[in-house]
Amino acid sequence: MEYTISRFANIAGVSTRTLRYYDEINLLKPSRVNSAGYRIYGQKEIDRLQQILFFRELDVDLETIASIINDTNFNHIEALSHHYQELVRKRDRLDRLIEMVKKTIAHEKGEIQMKNDEKFEAFKDNLLAENEAKYGEETREKYGEKTINESNAKFKNMSKEQFEKMTQLGEEILELLPQALQTGDPASPLAQEVANKHKEWLTFTWPSYSKEAHKGLADMYVNDERFKAYYEKAVKGGAEFLRDAIHLYVNQS
């Protein structure tokens, strides 16, 4: 089946200008051009345009799209799975926005109070930005004081970078623990650093942080054989030492 430019545009829901532009930038060429210079499109172009629109929907710029789908290693199904995840992320962001609008309406009606940074929470795409955005009298928030909503959002929207950071944190803990133990003092700066990293690590995967829970987990590391083995494997006495460091850390902050 062959299509003129306007029929093609109609099917796909884009303008003819868009198609001419895509031709111009070599993103999507017509399958052939007739004697009068008319652009003629076919089935392959239909599928390619669909791919393009998928990516466009995710705000990928056209040059990047071109390089992606021109890549001979380009795997359709893999790309689609990626689309899928990104779309779900976008939807989650919308969910948060919708929640925020609800909240703001309640705020306007005087039913609840909103803090300034809460007012922008959902606009931000990643939470790293959120963490950087602690300023002024906006109460240098301690981790432990984070609201549940914040950490829910955190977990649900955890990006790949964050996930990598999390795994890295886990590895750092295993790496630093033996060194910290060498100091012999769970209150030593190094030991406290390990405890701190452990907390950060937790906050990635637990819905919220609390001192009690943190201490509870530290105790489990000692009391439960399997947990214990994990940290003992890194260094003998590791579980106990970590527990002590965490307890000190938690009580101190």
Partner DNA sequence: GGTTGACATTGACGTTGCGTCAATCTGTAT
Partner DNA sequence: ATACAGATTGACGCAACGTCAATGTCAACC
DSSP secondary structure string, 122-167?
A: GG-S-HHHHHHT--TTS----GGG--HHHHHHHHHT--HHHHHHHH
39 binds, among a second copy, DNA, none (CB under 5 to 8 A by kind): DNA
Residue 111 tokens read as 């039913």
15 binds, among a second copy, DNA, none (CB under 5 to 8 A by kind): DNA
Tell which positions 94-153 bind a second copy, by CB under 8 A: 94-95, 97-98, 101-102, 104-105, 108-109, 116-117, 119-120, 123-124, 129-130, 132-133, 135-138, 148, 152
Tell which positions 17-36 bind DNA, by CB under 7 A: 17-18, 20-21, 34-36
The dihedrals phi and psi of 133, each to the nearest 5 degrees, come to -90, 35
- CB-wise, 30 or 238, nearer to DNA? 30
* Site for a second copy contains 53 (CB under 8 A): yes
CA angle 52, 54, 59 (to 5 degrees): 90
* Closest by CA position to 153, among listed 96, 78, 231, 200: 96
Per DSSP, 143 falls in state G
How many residues touch a second copy under the rule CB under 8 A: the total is: 79
Rule CB under 7 A: which residues touch DNA? 4-7, 15-18, 20-21, 34-39, 56, 61-63
